[in-house]
Structure 1
Amino acid sequence: MGDEPTNGELARRLDAGFDDLKEDMRDLAGRLDTKVDANLLTLQQQAQDERTHLIAVRVSALEDARQKETDVRQEEARKAEAQRASDRRLILTSLVVPLLLLLLQVYLASRGTK
């Protein structure tokens, strides 16, 4: 009988076990309170996906606008180059050709007087 616990010691051990169990339950409840609900997680992920989609659409629109702006600049550069070529032809025809014709007339006039 010396190895068997007394009724008072059994009661203390049971109380200590219940106290440990209560403490474990409080810890578990605290951990469950901090856990994210699956529905809430799904809603957060959907919101994040929507934001990502909106950003992707905006980036795509900005890229399209940038490409159009680049195309307009290239077209303007082509028009400017064509205008410069036209100006060069105009200079040639309005200045150089009359000068050559004048020189030709002078040459022909000097040959004709001999």
Structure 2
Amino acid sequence: MATSRYRNFLRLLEQWPVDKSREKRDLGAFVRRRVVEGFSHGEATQINAAECDKVYESLHRINTDFHLRTWRRSKETNASGATAEALRTTLSDAGLKELSGQYVEGPFSRLKEQISKRET
């Protein structure tokens, strides 16, 4: 039975997009590594069938945008209010590198400063 599950995972990986802009943080690359680890002996690997099916179904739903199509109300909006392309650019390796030099004050930074002043 591992044979059909292994082939299902291979078909899923063929369809899975690879984002070259997120070199070490790409979900597709991570899934590929995990499949290689999980099926270390290829089709002859002994697996837990129930757990394997559960993982496959979850990854299949992510790959087919099941939850996106089910819950997304508008293509133009999200929690941050930014467009999808702006988020994609910001979350790329180049975008994060550009942002790493900028200090963004978080909501608790003033509180941390006040506490540190009291402790000294």
TM-score grouping bracket, smaller chain normalisation: under 0.3
Normalised by the size of structure 1, how large is the TM-score? 0.19
| Structure with greater helix share of residues | 1
| TM-score using structure 2 length | 0.19
Higher normalized contact order (CA 8 Å, seq sep 6+, divided by chain length): 2
Structure whose CA Rg is larger: 1
